[in-house]
Amino acid sequence: MLLTDPDIEFLSGVVAEYSGNVISPRQAYMLEKQLTPVAKNVGLNDVVELVGKMRQAPNAILSTQVAEAVTVNETSFFRDNHPFVALEKKVIPDLIARNQSKKEIRIWCAACSCGQEPYTIAMIIREHFPHLSDWNIQIVATDLSDEMLNKSKSGEYSQLEVNRGLPVKKLVRFFDRQGSVWQVKQELKDLIDFRRLNLTTAWPFLGQFDIVFIRNVLIYFDQSTKAEILHRVRRVLRPDGYLFIGSVETTIGLGVPFQREEIDVSVCYRPNN
């Protein structure tokens, strides 16, 4: 059976409530494909039966599973490489100079998906800044999905996944081959703290960060939600910190307290008050 317009509207509402993601009409086609495994997992034949079950007996756990299933988890190592070049050439050297007294750098990767972004940052730190071995370097990586967090924590990636963006020298340096998968080495894992966090609900205590990566996720929220998230990001970003968002994302029209700054061909945002 095909999903009706009321079914699609209902599911879109569930996704918006539990993740903040906005499903446009042109994205409705993906609902049946992505939610069929959820329906099967709870003993139902198809997504239409899933909608019926959810309408009849609202269930927060099932609603969360639905929201997570339709969340886009597209990512790769060194994705849109420019921000990572800026990190290596400008941002981390600047923070090293300014944080000498406390010897600490804290980085937040929001919506980390399968973990490639935080592991990319960890590779940069281990390869280019080995003298920071006595510093407190912490990368906090968060995501809405428990499934994605479990994959990230495992640090196991297929040949196809490591082929996407990961230079061979870094693959050999930071991964071990184990059968058909590549395993991230412990020296990278030691830098990262994976946690579950929904950007659109109340955040747990995170502390203050020098750098925030929240890339390629704001495009899935409406304007007011984007603005609210970025205002909250400002509260956890140090006054001299750096914010990186996706290359197709912008703060224009959101009224948020950041100013655009160019680092060679990369763009970041700095607090303006």
Residue-wise burial string across 89-102, b where 16 or more C-beta atoms lie within 10 A, e elsewhere: eebbeebeeebeee
pLDDT for 20: 67
pTM: 0.80
Between 11 and 143, residue with greater pLDDT: 143
Q: Assess whether pLDDT exceeds 90 at residue 182.
A: yes
CA angle 139, 142, 146 (to 5 degrees): 135
Instruction: Round the average pLDDT of the chain to a whole number and report it.
Output: 89
Compute the distance between CA of residue 139 and CA of residue 118 in angstroms, rounded to an integer: 7
Query: What is the tens place of the pLDDT at every residue in 208-240?
Result: 999 999 998 888 888 999 999 999 999 999 999
Residue-wise burial string across 210-230, b where 16 or more C-beta atoms lie within 10 A, e elsewhere: bbbbbbbbbebbeeebbbbbb
pLDDT for 25: 64
Among 5-9, 14-18, 154-158, 204-208, the minimum mean pLDDT is found in 14-18
Query: What is the tens place of the pLDDT at every residue in 11-43?
Result: 778 777 776 667 766 666 677 777 787 788 878
Q: Is residue 162 classed as helix, strand or coil in its secondary structure?
A: helix
pLDDT for 1: 56
Q: Is residue 249 classed as helix, strand or coil in its secondary structure?
A: coil
Domains, the chain, ordered by start: 5-69 (no CATH), 82-271 (3.40.50.150)
Phi-psi region of 80 (alpha: psi -120 to 50; beta: other; left: phi over 0): left
Query: What is the tens place of the pLDDT at every residue in 107-127?
Result: 999 999 889 999 999 999 999
